């Protein structure tokens, strides 16, 4: 078991080293390993699938351009930081997204129409509540609660202190909870 854990941690480091040396197959492996994480993070931050795909491409272009400068230690942290920054830039440039785009983009196939309707309504409420948050609160909440990063990792990615991240996440949770309660209270 320990051998498998060791192999799991050495493979990404080897892929990064090979990619730095110009190995396109190794770079492609890095992309495949992290593309879902980057796309889902961008989608949650932006609320628009097309914008999230654009940001994802930009993130991996930056990765390719900056491979030589990256340290082997924390590629995922670097990718999160670049994704958050690219999303900020995209939000400044983009048109407002139509309500429900995120819900439609994230809905997975389920044979039960009632379950689909409930899921769609929950996703819509989450999407709308995320839009009410400031950029910093949204980034902190998405990275901490939806992506499952530790407070320390989120602080490093956002360039703030752990106390600031805890405060932003707490405020964001209160705002989301209040919005969701009002949203579903109105709907019943």
Write down the pLDDT at residue 99.
47
**Cβ(66)–Cβ(108) under 8 Å?**
no
Write down the pLDDT at residue 72.
65
pLDDT, the chain, mean:
79
Find the helix or strand (DSSP H, E) in which 6 lies.
helix 2-20
CA atoms within 13 Å, Cβ hemisphere of 120: 13
> Over pLDDT 70: what percentage of the chain?
76
Higher pLDDT: 155 or 12? It is 155
Q: Distance of alpha carbon 117 from its chain centroid, rounded?
A: 25
Handedness of CA 7, 78, 41, 156 (dihedral sign): positive
Q: How far apart are CA 40 and CA 22, in angstroms?
A: 28
Whether the predicted pLDDT of 2 surpasses 50? no
Q: How far apart are CA 11 and CA 90, in angstroms?
A: 32
Tokens of 97: 């997204």
Find, among 116, 174, 169, the residue nearest to 144 by Cα: 169
Residues of the chain with CATH 1.10.10.10: 99-188
Residues 104-143 pLDDT 10s: 544 444 467 777 777 788 888 888 888 889 999 999 999 9
Average pLDDT over residues 34-43: 92
For residue 60, CA distances in Å to 54, 80, 84, 120, 175 come to 10, 11, 13, 30, 33
**Cβ(59)–Cβ(20) under 8 Å?**
no
1-97: CATH topology is Rna Polymerase Sigma Factor; Chain: A (1.10.1740)
Q: How far apart are CA 77 and CA 115, in angstroms?
A: 35
Residues of the chain with CATH 1.10.1740.10: 1-97
Question: What is this structure's pTM?
Answer: 0.63
Write down the pLDDT at residue 56.
93
Residues 60-111 pLDDT 10s: 999 888 887 877 667 888 899 999 999 988 888 765 544 454 455 444 444 6
Whether the predicted pLDDT of 28 surpasses 90? no
* Domain spanning 99-188, CATH architecture: Orthogonal Bundle (1.10)
Write down the pLDDT at residue 116.
72
């Amino acid at each position: 078991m320990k051998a498998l854990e060791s192999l799991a941690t050495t493979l990404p480091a080897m892929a990064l080293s090979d990619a730095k040396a110009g190995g396109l197959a190794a770079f492609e492996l890095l992309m495949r390993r992290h593309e879902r994480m980057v796309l889902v993070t961008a989608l949650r931050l932006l609320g628009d699938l097309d914008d999230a795909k654009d940001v994802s491409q930009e993130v991996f272009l930056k990765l390719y351009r900056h491979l030589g400068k990256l340290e082997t230690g924390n590629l995922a942290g670097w990718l999160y930081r670049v994704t958050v920054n690219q999303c900020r830039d995209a939000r400044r440039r983009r048109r407002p997204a139509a309500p429900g785009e995120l819900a439609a983009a994230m809905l997975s196939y389920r044979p039960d129409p009632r379950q689909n309707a409930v899921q769609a309504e929950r996703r819509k409420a989450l999407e709308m509540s995320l839009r009410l948050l400031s950029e910093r609160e949204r980034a902190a909440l998405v990275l901490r609660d939806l992506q499952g990063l530790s407070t320390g990792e989120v602080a490093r990615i956002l360039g703030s202190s752990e106390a600031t991240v805890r405060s932003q996440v707490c405020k964001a949770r209160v705002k989301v909870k209040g919005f969701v309660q009002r949203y579903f209270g109105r709907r019943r």
